[in-house]
């Protein structure tokens, strides 16, 4: 054991994280030379827009959809002065993949890290970006991500640093899905008895643009130019063309802000070399196509080594659900060809939606780049979370270990810091399920569940394992894909398996040699996923399915660690619920 800047450091696997914490929190290591504070003034409001050539209403930032791209360097401070111009609802923004070391109140999770920003109010998000990578931001209240509240966040290396790979240029793609029914209607349907499901999205968007009933793929054989789609919805739905030069290597940054869809991406006649996942370098591997789930991000290297006289399709299609949504398309334009010149070959065909072997083969190739810190060999605590679909008083819900999450009015961060015992359920949430008698391959014998908002209190600096266990939904022969995202941390993905997790037979299968570091991970139908992380970031952190309606219906848990180590919490994160009464001089 040793100390760095006054922090106690366990053996080698903790040293990188310790350096990061010292760099951001403490003045004893002066690594911030050249760092900048990047200021943004944003207003969030609804706008009429035509994302897929059909006019609708989107949630825009400064009149833009998607929101403005933030670009910064490691060590920079981001300062976003966010004003809520919505007339009837609050808003928050989560900075997906940013650890928020020392600034947990800036994580942007309503009722967890902060109060919702009320109409007319302004909230300052101020935080440092601690590691390079491909990230994004999005709304984290209700279904505001589904309404279009999202944008890209790119963190470059600090001055003088170099990537472990070479490229000539860079392209950035933010992927999403889009419905014609507004999110308020969708939300009401989720809380109606009988349950009303909105169904699959009408369009898939690439950088906020798609074509409903004006699909480039459908028009392919008739040699229709892109301009026809431009005419139907003005420039708002015209595909964002990817302009490239022949015989160059491009870094293609990919992030998925979808609310529901799991996607597969491919580029006609081109292979891709995967080099980054969720802001972490991976051992490079080549693919013809890749699966990307909600909340995930990747960087791939694309070499433009095909016939330079042609253009090529880039396509995204739905995976894991019977697709009722056309592929999303744009064009890889080899200059000096005209961007309106359609490719001579049809777009790549998305793999069959339920070909999970294809998905698993891709996922299992993702391994940490050589030299990446390895996980602790042992865990201090293991939490097994059974993902189930349930009923509460006749209403359809999602639950973990038979508890469906309902967030309290008082943010956990403030209530834990200042000891408001009646702000949330003080009973410890269950850490396991009846694994002997529960059959994950069949609908639950007893589908009834309960609401809860308890917190998993984690010992600071302890190593925590989470086993995500998938199961059958309420209907027979149905088990869905669930992409899970952890706030405030990266975790090591130790492994995946089919059926029910068994410590006796599955423990030896876990990868402790080169597991990838991620902030999002997938659970396949009827399977399990094993994660490990170190609880070394003081704060209260959401851990949830990144499918927006699933979280909205209770599919999440809350972790808290080291809150007592925080010196103070900004008032703006406290002035609602019980703490709001205290700050207004009222009694609890």
CATH number of 519's domain:
2.60.40.420
- Asked if residue 346 and residue 393 are part of one domain, the reply reads no
pLDDT tens for each residue of 143-156: 999 999 999 999 99
Q: In this structure, are strands 289-292 and 262-267 parallel, antiparallel, or unpaired?
A: antiparallel
**∠ CA 392-396-402 to the nearest 5 degrees?**
55
69-86 core/surface letters (b: 16 or more CB in 10 A; e: else): ebebbbbbbbebebbbbb
- Asked if residue 561 and residue 491 are part of one domain, the reply reads yes
**Both structure tokens of 362:** 């891709």
- Asked if residue 459 and residue 350 are part of one domain, the reply reads no
Is residue 529 included in any domain, yes or no? yes
pLDDT over 50 at 25, yes or no: no
H or E segment and range at residue 358: helix 356-363
Q: In this structure, are strands 133-139 and 150-156 parallel, antiparallel, or unpaired?
A: antiparallel
Neighbours of 502 (CB within 10 A): 11
For residue 552, say if its preceding peptide bond is cis, omega within 30 degrees of 0.
no
- Asked if residue 304 and residue 212 are part of one domain, the reply reads yes
Q: Give Cα 318 to chain centroid, integer Å.
A: 17
pLDDT tens for each residue of 439-497: 999 999 999 999 999 999 999 999 999 999 999 999 999 999 999 999 999 999 999 99
Range of the domain at 135: 33-162
- Asked if residue 312 and residue 335 are part of one domain, the reply reads yes
Q: Give Cα 316 to chain centroid, integer Å.
A: 18
| Domain total of the chain | 3
Least confident of 36-40, 223-227, 294-298: 223-227
Are the CB atoms for 437 and 485 separated by under 8 Å?
no
**Both structure tokens of 312:** 């090529």
pLDDT over 90 at 213, yes or no: no
**Percent of the chain topping pLDDT 70:** 89
| pLDDT at residue 235, rounded to an integer | 81
CA distance 396 to 448: 10
Bigger pLDDT: 586 or 461?
461
Reported confidence tier of residue 214, pLDDT bands at 50, 70, 90 = low
pLDDT over 70 at 172, yes or no: yes
Residue 374 — left, alpha, or beta (φ > 0 → left; ψ -120 to 50 → alpha)? beta
Neighbour order of strands in the sheet with 539-545: 456-458, 556-561, 539-545, 482-486, 520-523
Mean pLDDT of 357-369: 97
| pLDDT at residue 50, rounded to an integer | 94
**Percent of the chain topping pLDDT 90:** 84
Are the CB atoms for 146 and 259 separated by under 8 Å?
yes
Mean pLDDT of 539-562: 98
Is residue 175 included in any domain, yes or no? yes
**Both structure tokens of 468:** 């995500």
pLDDT tens for each residue of 104-120: 999 999 999 999 999 99
Least confident of 5-9, 210-214, 405-409: 5-9
| pLDDT at residue 296, rounded to an integer | 98
308-329 core/surface letters (b: 16 or more CB in 10 A; e: else): eebbbbbbbbbbbeebebbbbb
How many CA atoms within 13 Å lie on the side-chain side of 167?
A: 22
Is residue 256 included in any domain, yes or no? yes
| pLDDT at residue 457, rounded to an integer | 98
Are the CB atoms for 312 and 270 separated by under 8 Å?
yes
The DSSP output letter for 526 is T
CA distance 44 to 59: 7
CA distance 546 to 484: 6
- Asked if residue 323 and residue 196 are part of one domain, the reply reads yes
CA distance 462 to 464: 6
Please report the DSSP string for 410-422 in residue order. S-HHHHHHTT-GG
Question: Taking the CA atoms of the chain, what radius of gyration do you get in angstroms?
Answer: 23
Q: Across 278-380, where does the E strand assignment appear? A: 280-287, 289-292, 297-303, 312-319, 328-334
- Asked if residue 151 and residue 227 are part of one domain, the reply reads no
Q: Give Cα 585 to chain centroid, integer Å.
A: 38
The DSSP output letter for 372 is P
Q: In this structure, are strands 463-469 and 527-534 parallel, antiparallel, or unpaired?
A: antiparallel
- Asked if residue 547 and residue 471 are part of one domain, the reply reads yes
Is residue 11 included in any domain, yes or no? no
Q: Give Cα 49 to chain centroid, integer Å.
A: 24
pLDDT tens for each residue of 178-202: 999 999 999 999 999 999 999 999 9
Identify the domain boundary among 162, 197, 216.
Answer: 162
- Asked if residue 174 and residue 149 are part of one domain, the reply reads no
pLDDT tens for each residue of 521-544: 999 999 999 999 999 999 999 999
Reported confidence tier of residue 571, pLDDT bands at 50, 70, 90 = confident
Query: What are the respective helix, strand and coil percentages of the chain, to the nearest 5?
Result: 15, 35, 50
**Both structure tokens of 357:** 């072997």
pLDDT over 80 at 228, yes or no: no
- Asked if residue 560 and residue 470 are part of one domain, the reply reads yes
| pLDDT at residue 574, rounded to an integer | 76
Are the CB atoms for 232 and 53 separated by under 8 Å?
yes
CA distance 359 to 226: 32
pLDDT tens for each residue of 385-419: 999 999 999 999 999 999 999 999 999 999 999 99
| pLDDT at residue 29, rounded to an integer | 37
Q: Which residues contact 448 (CB under 8 A, 6 or more apart)?
A: 390, 391, 392
How many CA atoms within 13 Å lie on the side-chain side of 534?
A: 18
Is residue 375 included in any domain, yes or no? no
pLDDT tens for each residue of 285-337: 999 999 999 999 999 999 999 999 999 999 999 999 998 999 999 999 999 99
H or E segment and range at residue 18: helix 15-25
Alpha helices for 285-435 (secondary structure H)? 356-363, 412-417
Q: Across 308-380, where does the E strand assignment appear? A: 312-319, 328-334
Is residue 17 included in any domain, yes or no? no
- Asked if residue 414 and residue 432 are part of one domain, the reply reads yes
Are the CB atoms for 253 and 300 separated by under 8 Å?
no
Return the biggest CA–CA distance within the chain: 74
Is residue 157 included in any domain, yes or no? yes
pLDDT over 60 at 30, yes or no: no
- Asked if residue 250 and residue 153 are part of one domain, the reply reads no
CA distance 544 to 482: 9
Please say whether the dihedral angle defined by the alpha carbons of residues 258, 261, 262 and 268, taken in this order, is positive or negative: negative
pLDDT tens for each residue of 119-145: 999 999 999 999 999 999 999 999 999
Is residue 406 included in any domain, yes or no? yes
CA distance 146 to 178: 7
Give Cα separations from 220 to 225, 307, 344 (angstroms): 9, 19, 9
Block residue for tokens 């998993």: 456
Q: What is the mean pLDDT of the chain?
A: 90
Write a three-state SS string for 110-158: ECCCECCECCCCEEEEEEECCCCEEEEEEECCCCCCCCCCEEEEEEECC
């Amino acid at each position: 054991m040793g100390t760095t800047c006054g922090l106690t450091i366990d053996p080698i696997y903790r040293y990188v994280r310790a350096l990061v914490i010292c760099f951001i929190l403490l003045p004893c290591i002066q690594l911030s030379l050249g760092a900048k504070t990047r200021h943004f003034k944003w207003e969030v409001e609804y706008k009429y827009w035509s994302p897929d050539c059909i006019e609708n209403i989107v949630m825009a930032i400064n009149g833009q959809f998607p929101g403005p791209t933030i670009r910064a360097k490691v060590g920079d401070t981001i300062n976003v002065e966010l004003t809520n111009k919505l007339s009837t609802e609050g808003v928050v923004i989560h900075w997906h993949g940013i650890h928020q070391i020392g600034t947990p109140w800036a994580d942007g999770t309503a009722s967890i890290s902060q109060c919702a920003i009320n109409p007319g109010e302004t909230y300052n998000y101020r935080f440092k970006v601690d590691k390079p990578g491909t990230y994004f931001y999005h709304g984290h209240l209700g279904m505001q991500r589904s309404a279009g509240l999202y944008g890209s966040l790119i963190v470059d290396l600090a001055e003088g640093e170099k990537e472990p790979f070479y490229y000539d240029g860079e392209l950035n793609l933010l992927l999403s899905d889009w419905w014609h029914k507004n999110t308020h209607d969708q939300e009401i349907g989720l809380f109606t008895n009988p349950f009303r499901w909105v169904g699959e999205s009408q369009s898939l968007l690439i950088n906020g643009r798609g074509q409903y009933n004006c699909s480039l793929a459908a028009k392919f054989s008739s040699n229709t130019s892109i301009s026809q789609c431009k005419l139907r919805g003005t420039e708002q739905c015209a595909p964002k063309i990817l302009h490239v030069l022949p015989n160059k290597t491009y870094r293609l940054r990919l992030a998925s802000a979808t609310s529901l869809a799991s996607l597969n991406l491919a580029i006609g006649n081109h292979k891709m070399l995967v080099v980054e996942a969720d802001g972490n370098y991976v051992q490079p591997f080549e693919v013809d196509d890749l699966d990307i789930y909600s909340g995930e991000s990747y960087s791939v290297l694309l070499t433009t080594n095909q016939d330079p006289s042609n253009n090529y399709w880039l396509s995204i299609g739905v995976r894991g659900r019977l697709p009722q949504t056309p592929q999303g398309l744009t064009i890889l334009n080899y200059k000096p060809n005209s961007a309106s010149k359609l490719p001579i070959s049809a777009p790549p065909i998305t793999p069959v939606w339920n070909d999970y072997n294809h998905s698993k083969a891709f996922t299992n190739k993702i391994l940490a780049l050589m030299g990446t810190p390895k996980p602790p060999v042992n865990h201090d605590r293991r939490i097994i979370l059974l993902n189930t679909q349930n009923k509460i008083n006749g209403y359809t819900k999602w639950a973990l270990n038979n508890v469906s999450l309902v967030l309290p009015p008082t943010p956990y961060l403030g209530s834990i810091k200042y000891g408001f015992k009646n702000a949330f359920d003080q009973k410890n949430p269950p850490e396991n399920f009846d694994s002997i008698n529960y059959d994950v391959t069949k609908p639950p014998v007893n589908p009834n569940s309960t609401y809860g908002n308890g917190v998993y209190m984690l010992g600071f600096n302890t190593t925590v394992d989470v086993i995500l266990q998938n199961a059958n939904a309420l209907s027979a022969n149905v088990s869905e894909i669930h992409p899970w995202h952890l706030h405030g941390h990266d975790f090591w993905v130790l492994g995946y398996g089919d059926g029910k997790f068994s410590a006796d037979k599955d423990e030896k299968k876990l990868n402790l040699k080169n597991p990838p570091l991620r902030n999002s991970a997938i659970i396949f139908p009827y399977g399990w996923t094993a994660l490990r992380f170190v609880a070394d970031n003081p704060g209260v952190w959401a851990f949830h399915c990144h499918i927006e309606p699933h979280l909205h219906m209770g599919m999440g848990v809350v972790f808290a660690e080291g809150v007592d180590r925080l010196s103070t919490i900004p008032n703006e994160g406290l002035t609602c619920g019980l703490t709001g009464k205290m700050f207004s001089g009222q009694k609890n």
